[in-house]
């Protein structure tokens, strides 16, 4: 397929493609799509294998790429022997720093509008910055030939002293300039003094390991150059900014790079701009042929960053009536000097509890390692593990039910910003969840419940994730004379149901049937869309589509003119309904879009707008919250932990699609289960080498690890959020590890403060 012949992905609702039993009834199809359990518009394409992912795009003359990784953490390449590889069967090219095109260093997150994981130049010199950095790329006619030849490249190094031991590096930990724009230290009153004076206290250290992204779809890019322009079929959760960043790296005008990413097989923060897309494009330029670089699982571990390790102190001091006198959350994360991603583990403590004094402090320890990055609920996932474990410890010490203790600490306003909450119903989420889970059956004395050789326990914890909406999201809405609506924005479908929910929204807003809405996305040539990050894509896209749809409707009303049954009506009196415009109350006054456009002799009308400024998040404290309930069994003989039941009770505003939302919540909880019990990147502190770069040795939860996961929600619309909906993508992982750890304590009386809770820690 040539560059000009690329088909853009457009998804539309096809009633017949629905899973039997999930078809919304006819009334729902005609009106009020938002809030209905519409099945994913992309579902049928995926199960039929018709959804083309980045590594599946067929281009004639394609070369396949394999990467050679450095085996030292810091130093320089002393010798690089590529002859044998170049002579190997099928090899077209070996690219190293000696022949790579000259490129600008990418901008990392937080620098300009950069979105790269690291700001290091890619293959521009002989320097090595982490163990696993790419030192050569082999292009060959087949993947097997490339992989074989990559093994024939021999490299020697002049090694330099590297800092690869987090425990040692902590001695030189320092405050980062800021933590996502917030100060690294936040103090209210004298928390240490209040802690010393408290009648009940907990002061403990919690640790969490490095974790790696393991999306089912490996990171991949299929790239092609034509007429000085670069096309990248990518797996990314930030299409528009990846295109912009790549253009800068290659010294091209904005718009000279087109990124297409219609389907993404999992992102979770890891599908951003890393060195592999740059290497693929550089090698393709050098070879003069299109290139596919699909990273092996091992290469993903070596080139794509993951979650950083943390050491966190949480100290809580309460008085006799249970009031929270002191809250201290302080600690250190690993980072590098070439990225800017200090995992914000203190953020939950800023917003959750009415503490009379507070000290929140973040430090970073610089390591010579692959840059760490966002991973589903960065900060909140590991931060809630420490904070919510400590609260359970204090509740136990005080002999108070942990839900009751949290209820007493529920703040009237945001405890640190002092802004009013836009909408907060965490107490209700707890009450609803406790009733459904059967919390009253919990024995507050640990170690007393048994089922054969299994010790049983229940635990609870709060989950939280901020509401984010980023400015500058654009959308285009087009209405054709046949009544078809096309919504276009460079958004992302990573499996969360983007197209589905946005089509539901557009159908309601324009008063048309769901099958009359097409959603066009996944292409940087479209109006710049929201990134799929910070659980913000839905809100950002809804706001942009709202602006574009309103502008479109104003145009249509103008076109209707005085000959229409709508003649003389003001915009405020007109609503979109029944496939056209009508008077809000006088149902007889209505004209279909088709009729209006035909009379005006127009084939179509379209409008492109930018979403409103997200002022709501400056005026209000906006957070999704949840009450997480776990029941575990701990084997008294082997120490094995099994989660038997899990319930997430969420307060995330209005739920736009209960089917896709339930999947988002469950997916998050499953990642939380992995965080709690099994996942850990084993980083050799001597060499900085990841020792378990495979799914055989890095243990993500598998089916047998995952119990029945129940989810429920308050469904109370947030008056400040577009459509009343706050984010739901990341909150599921937050609170989960603490709920499980607290259940393990309830089962055994053993407090594990070091994740993951593997069986050796319970024996």
d(C-alpha 277, C-alpha 54), whole Å: 11
* Residue 674 binds ligand MOS, judged by CB under 6 A: no
Residue 516, classed as helix, strand or coil, is: helix
* Residue 238 binds ligand MOS, judged by CB under 6 A: no
Nearest distance, CB of residue 573 and ligand MOS, angstroms: 41
Single residue of 210, 533, 648, 756 touching ligand MOS by CB under 6 A:
533
Residue 374 vs 439, nearer CB to ligand MOS: 374
Nearest distance, CB of residue 270 and ligand MOS, angstroms: 8
Helix/strand/coil percent split, the chain, to 5: 30, 25, 45
Residue 527 vs 727, nearer CB to ligand MOS: 727
Site string for ligand MOS, 471-490 (x = CB under 6 A): --------------------
Single residue of 534, 540, 722, 756 touching ligand MOS by CB under 6 A:
534
Residue 284 vs 536, nearer CB to ligand MOS: 536
Query: Which region, judged by CB under 6 A, interacts with ligand MOS, from 69-77, 368-376, 414-422, 580-588?
Result: 368-376
CA distances from 565 to 480, 511, 582, 665 (A): 20, 17, 8, 46
Query: Which region, judged by CB under 6 A, interacts with ligand MOS, from 155-163, 199-207, 337-345, 375-383?
Result: 375-383
The string of DSSP codes covering 355-409 is -SSEEEEEEEEE-SSSPP---SSTTHHHHHHHHHHHHHHHHHHHT--HHHHHHHT
* Residue 376 binds ligand MOS, judged by CB under 6 A: yes
Single residue of 45, 72, 195, 375 touching ligand MOS by CB under 6 A:
375
Q: At what angle do helices 380-398 and 658-677 cross, to 10 degrees?
A: 70
Compute φ and ψ for 755, nearest 5 degrees: -85, 155
Residue 24 vs 378, nearer CB to ligand MOS: 378
d(C-alpha 236, C-alpha 264), whole Å: 7
The string of DSSP codes covering 632-662 is EEEETTT--EEEEEEEEEEE-B--S-HHHHH
Task: Give the side-chain half-sphere CA count within 13 A for 79.
Answer: 4
Start-to-end C-alpha separation, the chain: 59
Nearest distance, CB of residue 533 and ligand MOS, angstroms: 4
Residue 401 vs 470, nearer CB to ligand MOS: 470
Nearest distance, CB of residue 671 and ligand MOS, angstroms: 10
Count interface residues toward ligand MOS (CB under 6 A).
11
Compute φ and ψ for 714, nearest 5 degrees: -75, -30
Single residue of 24, 75, 342, 378 touching ligand MOS by CB under 6 A:
378
Task: Give me the residue label for tokens 């038997």.
Answer: 644
Residue 702, classed as helix, strand or coil, is: coil
- Where helices occur in 141-255 by DSSP H, the ranges are 143-150, 166-169, 191-197, 239-249
Examine the residue annotation and report whether 515 is marked as an active-site residue of this protein.
no
* Residue 342 binds ligand MOS, judged by CB under 6 A: no
Residue 426: which region, alpha, beta or left (left: phi > 0; alpha: psi -120 to 50)? alpha
Residue 75 vs 265, nearer CB to ligand MOS: 265
Which tokens go with 573?
């009196």
Burial 308-324 (b: 16+ CB within 10 A, else e): bbbbbbbbbbbeeebeb
Contact 231, 6 (CB under 8 A): yes
Nearest distance, CB of residue 755 and ligand MOS, angstroms: 18
Query: Which region, judged by CB under 6 A, interacts with ligand MOS, from 140-148, 274-282, 374-382, 390-398?
Result: 374-382
Residue 35 vs 732, nearer CB to ligand MOS: 732
Site string for ligand MOS, 260-279 (x = CB under 6 A): -------xxx----------
Nearest distance, CB of residue 269 and ligand MOS, angstroms: 3
DSSP-derived secondary structure letter, 163: -
Site string for ligand MOS, 711-730 (x = CB under 6 A): -------------------x
Residue 263 vs 454, nearer CB to ligand MOS: 263
Residue 534 vs 756, nearer CB to ligand MOS: 534
Residue 581, classed as helix, strand or coil, is: strand
CA distances from 690 to 122, 366, 684 (A): 20, 17, 6
Nearest distance, CB of residue 272 and ligand MOS, angstroms: 9
Query: Which region, judged by CB under 6 A, interacts with ligand MOS, from 164-172, 243-251, 370-378, 583-591?
Result: 370-378
DSSP-derived secondary structure letter, 48: T
* Residue 374 binds ligand MOS, judged by CB under 6 A: yes
Nearest distance, CB of residue 148 and ligand MOS, angstroms: 35
Catalytic residues: 730
Residues that bind ligand MOS (CB under 6 A): 237, 267-269, 374-376, 378, 533-534, 730
């Amino acid at each position: 397929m040539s560059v000009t012949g690329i088909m853009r992905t457009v998804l539309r609702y096809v009633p017949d493609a629905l899973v039997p039993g999930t078809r919304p009834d006819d009334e729902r199809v005609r009106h009020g799509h938002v809030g209905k359990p519409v099945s994913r518009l992309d579902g049928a394409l995926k199960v039929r294998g018709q959804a083309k992912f980045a590594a599946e795009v067929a281009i004639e003359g394609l070369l396949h790429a394999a990467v050679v990784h450095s085996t030292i953490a810091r130093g320089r390449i002393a010798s690089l022997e590529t002859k044998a590889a170049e002579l190997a069967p099928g090899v077209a090219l070996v690219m190293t720093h000696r022949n790579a095109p000259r490129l600008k260093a990418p901008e990392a997150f937080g620098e300009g509008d950069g979105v790269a994981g690291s700001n290091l130049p890619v293959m521009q010199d002989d320097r090595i910055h982490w163990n696993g950095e790419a030192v050569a790329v082999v292009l060959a006619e087949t993947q097997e030939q490339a992989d074989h030849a990559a093994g024939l490249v021999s490299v020697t190094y002049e090694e330099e002293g590297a800092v690869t031991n987090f425990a040692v590096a902590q001695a030189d930990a320092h405050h980062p300039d800021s933590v996502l724009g917030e100060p690294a230290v936040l103090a209210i009153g004298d928390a240490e003094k209040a802690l010393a004076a408290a009648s009940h206290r907990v002061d403990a250290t919690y640790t969490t390991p490095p974790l790696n992204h393991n999306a089912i779809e490996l990171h991949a890019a299929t790239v092609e150059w034509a007429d000085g322009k670069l096309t990248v079929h990518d797996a990314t959760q930030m299409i528009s900014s990846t295109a912009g960043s790549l253009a800068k790296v290659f010294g091209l005008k904005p718009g000279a790079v087109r990124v297409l990413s219609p389907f993404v097989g999992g992102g979770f923060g890891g599908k951003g701009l890393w060195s592999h897309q740059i290497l693929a494009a550089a090698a393709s330029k050098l070879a003069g042929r299109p290139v596919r670089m699909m990273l092996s699982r091992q290469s993903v571990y070596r080139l794509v960053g993951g979650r950083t390790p943390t050491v966190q102190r949480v100290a809580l001091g309460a008085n006799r009536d249970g009031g929270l006198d002191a809250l201290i959350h302080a600690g250190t994360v690993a980072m590098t000097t070439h990225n800017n991603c200090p995992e914000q583990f203190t953020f939950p403590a800023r917003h959750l509890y009415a503490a009379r004094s507070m000290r929140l402090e973040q430090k970073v320890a610089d390591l010579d390692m692959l840059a760490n990055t966002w991973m589903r609920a960065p900060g909140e996932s590991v931060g809630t593990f420490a904070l919510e474990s400590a609260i359970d410890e204090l509740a136990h010490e005080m002999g108070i039910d942990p839900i009751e203790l949290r209820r007493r600490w529920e703040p009237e306003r945001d405890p640190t910003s002092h802004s009013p909450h836009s909408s907060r119903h965490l107490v209700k989420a707890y009450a609803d969840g406790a009733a459904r889970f059967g919390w009253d059956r919990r024995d507050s004395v640990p170690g007393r419940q048994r089922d054969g050789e299994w010790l049983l326990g229940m635990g609870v914890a709060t989950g939280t994730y901020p509401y984010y909406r980023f400015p500058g999201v654009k959308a285009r809405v087009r209405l054709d004379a046949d009544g078809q609506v096309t919504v276009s924005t460079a958004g992302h479908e990573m499996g969360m149901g983007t197209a589905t929910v946005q089509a539901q929204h557009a159908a309601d807003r324009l008063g048309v049937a769901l099958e009359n809405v097409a959603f066009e996305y996944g292409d940087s040539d479209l109006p710049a869309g929201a990134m799929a990050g910070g659980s913000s894509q839905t809100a950002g896209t809804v706001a942009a589509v709202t602006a574009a749809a309103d502008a479109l409707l104003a145009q249509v009303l103008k076109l209707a003119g005085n000959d229409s049954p709508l003649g003389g009506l003001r915009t405020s009196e007109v609503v979109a309904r029944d496939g056209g415009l009508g008077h809000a109350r006088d149902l007889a006054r209505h004209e279909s879009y088709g009729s209006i456009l035909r009379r005006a002799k127009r084939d179509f009308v379209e409008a492109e707008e930018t979403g409103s400024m997200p002022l709501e998040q400056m005026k209000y404290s906006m957070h999704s919250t949840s009450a997480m309930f776990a029941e575990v069994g701990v084997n008294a003989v082997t120490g094995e932990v099994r989660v038997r039941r899990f319930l997430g009770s969420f307060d995330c505003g209005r739920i736009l699609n209960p089917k896709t939302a339930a999947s988002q919540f469950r997916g998050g909880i499953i990642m939380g289960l992995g965080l709690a019990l099994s996942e850990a990147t084993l980083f050799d502190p001597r060499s900085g080498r990841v020792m378990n770069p495979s799914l055989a040795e890095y243990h993500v939860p598998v089916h047998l690890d995952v119990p029945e996961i129940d989810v429920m929600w308050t469904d109370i619309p947030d008056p400040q959020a577009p459509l009343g909906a706050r984010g739901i993508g990341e909150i599921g992982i937050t609170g989960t590890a603490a709920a499980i750890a607290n259940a393990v304590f309830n089962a055994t009386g053993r407090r594990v403060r070091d994740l993951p809770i593997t069986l050796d820690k319970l024996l």
